[in-house]
Amino acid sequence: MVSYDAIIIGAGFSGIYQLHSLRDKLKLNTLVIESGKDLGGTWYWNRYPGARCDSESHTYNFTFSKEIFENWSWPERYSKQDIILEYLNYVVEKLSLKKDMLFDNKVIKAHFDEKSNLWNIKTNKDKTFLCKYLISAVGCLSAANIPKINGLRKFKGKWYHTGKWPHTGVDFKNKRVAQIGVGSTGIQLAPEIAKSAKKLSIFQRSPNFSIPARNEIVNDKYKKKIKDNYQEIRDLIKSTPTGHAFHFSSQSTFDVSNEDRKKIYENGWQKGGLGFRGLFKDITTNLDANKTIVNFIKEKVETTMLNKHYAKVVTDFKYPFATRRPTLNTDYYETFNKDNVELIDISKDSIKEITETGISTIENNYEFDIIVFATGYDAITGALLSIDMVGKNNIKLSELWKNGPLTYLGLQIPGFPNFFTITGPGSPSVLTNVPMAIEQHVEFITDCISHMEKNKYSTIETNNDYSLKWRGVIDKAVEETLIPESKSSWLYGGNIEGKPKVFMPYPSGLPKYKKICEDIVLKNYEGFNFDKH
Ligand code: NA7
């Protein structure tokens, strides 16, 4: 069995930076194991047409190296999937990381051996490894959710999930296509399918909020400005709660007149992007304030859509704005103005089954050549729980987490010594511009391992008390917002049948979280126990 100091599971943003940190800074013998045939994580798998990042390009990248930042130019305001994948390949090549990555191997088992204090790892290709440190970089939106709808196996056409898109692409020309789901993914995908499909039928269960992205190709002057301002950009995105390059306004919604508020919303709408949610500071804490922005969005959508029935269905919002991750779009609402696009409201007429030739709802039968599931993920915990993970005293992770995930800071799990999670439950990552959370997590883990190596510790472990306290911090913080109005969201595990309904991310922003982590380190890693046995 091959032994390593550290094994990292996953070769996306997290795995790449963690490998560089452990191998090049700490000189540890480190291996990345990745289930895909190549690196990229999310950006390797999500190749559906229209796949694009909602964070602005110059913020959705690593900032740990000035040189890497300055030697790369993003061509558009928001980057397409293939460009992000190209960027990750550029970083990996620059740092010569690929030679320490093992592809096409899914970690299926990770058991902690208390006698040796080592992790035993096994992959689906029957490769086995030992390591002292095990780090999960499996991603928070990576385990595809294919809803359990009766009859899928009978379907004679083709079907796809957006998160496992075929590398050869899909030809929609002259095809009758069903798209199930209107999350960020579905909203990006529909306008692309509609360009060539004979007919696109969009199955919507809950309406989603979507803001214009206002994507554009950026000019050389803009690219230069980004490169010339590395430090300012870095400081900014490390200081805002969401890790994006915009501050939340210090004004409350009702501090301004109705007229001025409308102007502010209009201006934000024209600018486009996620900054729209930061126009007033109380949008996610005051329901009346939230209603003003919901009404503005409704008006905008209603004037864009020609079919007034469709406009009503897509704006029949069931939860307040920004209580789930808001989505960005390019021509999503305009797509419904095309003759080949129809909207099917399955909140009124739900899907009964998939048949040989299509989809049957309670009241109708539809025929399709292709069904696309844009139905999201078993988010935050799904990928980790797909591994047979066993810690001390034979605790199974699935057993420990049966009532919801338990972690300390989203970085360690009680009973799982020397195991760290990047973007795990309890971390703020999914509520932020994710690479900013990843950089913080990787740097914390690297410093912690460095501390262990210097002091010759054999194990680090958190405990139940601190993990339960952290759970309490999250629960209390989320109750102070409007987010609990949307318990059916994946942030609560609400999209997966049988999943415990627990709010999973830390909701109070990245700088506050970072400060908590720093204070804990100053208090000699309060809540973690180091051992030398
Ligand atoms: P999301 O945001 O989870 O959206 C999934 C969509 O699929 C959403 O509209 C769901 O409706 C719908 N859905 C899920 N299951 C079903 C079933 N069984 N029947 C009908 N409709 C269903 O996933 P995305 O991939 O769009 O985005 C995930 C994140 O990735 C996103 O935040 C981006 O930042 C990147 P629902 O709202 O649950 O009624």
Q: What ipTM did this prediction achieve?
A: 0.98
Ligand 1 atom 29, closest CA? 184
Domain count, the chain: 2
Atom of ligand 1 nearest to the CA of 346: 20
How close is the Cα of 186 to the center of ligand 1, in Å?
A: 8
Q: Are strands 199-204 and 176-180 parallel, antiparallel or unpaired?
A: parallel
Give the mean model confidence (pLDDT) for residues 336-363. 97
Please report the pLDDT score of residue 1 as a whole number: 86
Separation between Cα atoms, residue 510 and residue 443, nearest integer Å? 14
Q: Based on the domain organization, do 128 and 35 belong to the same domain?
A: yes
DSSP symbols for 80-117: BHHHHHHHHHHHHHHTT-GGGEE-S--EEEEEEETTTT
Q: How far is the CA of 121 from the centre of ligand 1 (A)?
A: 32
Q: For ligand 1, is residue 55 a contact (CB within 6 Å)?
A: no
Question: In a 3-state reduction of DSSP, which class is residue 25?
Answer: helix
* Shared-domain flag, residues 287 and 193: yes
Is 226 a domain residue? no
Would the CB of 141 count as within 6 Å of ligand 1? yes
Residue 308: predicted pLDDT: 97
Among protein residues, the one with the nearest Cα to ligand 1's atom 36 is: 206
Same domain flag for 449 and 315? no
Same domain, 319 and 434: no
Residue 502 has pLDDT above 90, yes or no: yes
Residue 230 lies in a domain: no
Average pLDDT rounded to a whole number, residues 106-111: 98
- Asked if residue 227 is part of any domain, the answer here is no
What's the whole-number mean pLDDT along residues 313-318? Answer: 97
CA atoms within 13 A on the CB side of 63: 26
Q: What is the CATH number of the domain that holds 58?
A: 3.50.50.60
- Domain of residue 69 covers 2-143+379-531
533 has pLDDT over 90: no
Q: Are 52 and 188 in contact (CB under 8 A)?
A: yes
Domain assignment of residue 489, yes or no: yes
Q: What are φ and ψ of residue 355, in 5° steps? A: -110, 180
The last residue of one of the domains, among 373, 390, 410, is 373
Average pLDDT over residues 117-137: 98
Binding site membership of 361 for ligand 1 (Cβ less than 6 Å): no
Mean pLDDT (the chain) is 97
Arithmetic mean of pLDDT, 306-319: 97
**Ligand 1 centroid – CA 373 distance (Å):** 9
Domain boundary among 326, 341, 373: 373
Average pLDDT over residues 429-443: 98
> Do 166 and 114 have their domain in common?
no
pTM for the model stands at 0.97
| Whether 299 and 322 share a structural domain | yes
Q: What percent of the chain has pLDDT over 90?
A: 100
Ligand 1 and 202: CB distance under 6 A: no
Asked if residues 523 and 462 have their Cβ atoms less than 8 Å apart, the reply is: no
Handedness of CA 282, 285, 288, 294 (dihedral sign): positive
Give the position, in ligand 1's atom list, of the atom nearest the Cα of 186. Answer: 26
Please tell me the distance between residue 185's alpha carbon and the centre of ligand 1 in angstroms: 8
Spacing, Cα 497 to ligand 1 middle (Å): 13
Mean pLDDT across the stretch 18-25?
Answer: 98
Is residue 183 lining ligand 1, measured as CB closer than 6 Å? yes
Atom 31, ligand 1: which residue's CA is nearest? Answer: 184
329 and 245 in a common domain:
yes
Q: Phi and psi at residue 383, in whole multiples of 5°?
A: -70, -40
Question: In this structure, which residue's CA is closest to atom 16 in ligand 1?
Answer: 375
Q: Which atom of ligand 1 is nearest to the CA of 205?
A: 39
Q: What is the mean pLDDT of residues 500-514?
A: 97
pLDDT band at residue 463, thresholds of 50, 70 and 90?
Answer: very high
Q: Summarize the confidence of residues 157-167 as an average pLDDT.
A: 97
* Banded model confidence at residue 422, pLDDT cuts 50, 70, 90: very high
- 181 CB near ligand 1 (under 6 Å): yes
Q: Which residues, at least 6 apart from 352, have a Cβ–Cβ distance to it below 8 Å?
A: 150, 360, 361, 362
Under the banding of pLDDT at 50, 70 and 90, the label for residue 105 is: very high
CB-ligand 1 contact for 359 (6 Å cutoff): no
Q: Atom 38, ligand 1: which residue's CA is nearest?
A: 495
- Residues 315 and 297 sit within 8 Å (Cβ to Cβ): yes
**Rounded distance from Cα 179 to ligand 1 centre (Å):** 11
According to the model, what pLDDT value does residue 328 have? 98
Task: Give every CB contact of residue 493 below 8 A, 6+ residues apart in sequence.
Answer: 379, 380, 381, 404, 499, 500, 501, 502, 504
Over residues 383-390, mean pLDDT? 98
Residue 220 above 90 pLDDT? yes
Nearest residue CA, atom 20 of ligand 1?
Answer: 205
Report pLDDT digits (tens) over 47-63: 999 999 999 999 999 99
Do 249 and 273 fall into the same domain?
yes
Does any ligand 1 atom lie closer than 6 A to the CB of residue 143?
A: no
Pairing of strands 128-136, 365-367: unpaired
Please determine, for residue 318, whether its predicted confidence score (pLDDT) is greater than 90. yes
pLDDT, mean of residues 240-255: 96
Q: Is the CB of 50 under 6 A from ligand 1?
A: no
344 CA to centre of ligand 1 in angstroms: 15
Would you say the CB of residue 429 lies under 6 angstroms from ligand 1?
no
Residue with tokens 């973690």: 528
Kindly write down the DSSP assignment for every residue of 405-455, as one continuous string. ---BTTTB-TT-TTEEESS-TTSSGGGS-HHHHHHHHHHHHHHHHHHHHHT
The response to whether residue 495 sits with its C-beta less than 6 Å from ligand 1 reads: yes
